[in-house]
Amino acid sequence: MSGLIGGAGSKSGVIGLAGTNNPAFSAYRTNSYDPGTTGTWYTLVCDNEDFDSFGKYDNSTGIFTPGVVGKYFLSATVARSNSISDNTTYKSRITNQSSYLHVYDYSTRDGVSVDQYMQLSVIVNVTSSSDAFKVEGWQNSHPDTQFMGGTHGCRFSGYRIINN
């Protein structure tokens, strides 16, 4: 059967995906990050790449510019350290330039001191070679927020799933 993994021959009505999933990337933040401000969105730069098939992720700015039209799956994990246990609200989002695509909102409870992981994912339609995506974080009151680094901390990844 055409379009099925491990299939042979053909069968009408079965649709296969053509092309590759490039460009594709996966990156993580090396060290924990303290933004030092409250009530402001800031870019969470993942400065270390696991891979970047076409060099479309900039690990100095945290921006993924695919440059190839199509539909993309983007995902992010935003990890907050366990050292803060107040009633602060934390948010994270994946944005395309100035428009947010997916937002995750988390409010801590007084007295809780555990690592918090915010998972975000979205399928986006890239229609221009200048479309660019990034992950941002926000918190409303605590001046010493630590967003975690390391391979299990903040991560950002994406790949093309379908040509337009």
Q: Answer whether residue 79 is part of any domain.
A: yes
What is the rounded average pLDDT for all residues in the chain?
79
Tokens representing residue 121 in the block: 């994912």
Q: Could you read off the pLDDT of 44-90 as tens digits, one per residue? A: 999 999 999 999 999 999 999 999 999 999 999 988 775 555 567 77
Q: Could you read off the pLDDT of 124-140 as tens digits, one per residue? A: 999 999 999 999 988 77
CATH at 118: 2.60.120.40
Number of domains in the chain: 1
Q: Answer whether residue 7 is part of any domain.
A: no
Choose the weakest-confidence range: 5-9, 74-78, 83-87, 157-161: 5-9
72: CB partners within 8 A, 6+ apart? 66, 123, 124, 126, 158, 159, 160, 161
Angle at 155 between CA 86 and CA 44, to 5 degrees: 65
pTM above 0.75, yes or no: yes
Q: Answer whether residue 20 is part of any domain.
A: no
Residue 129: phi and psi, rounded to 5, are -70, -10
Cβ 138 vs Cβ 39: under 8 Å: yes
The domain in which residue 146 lies consists of 53-162
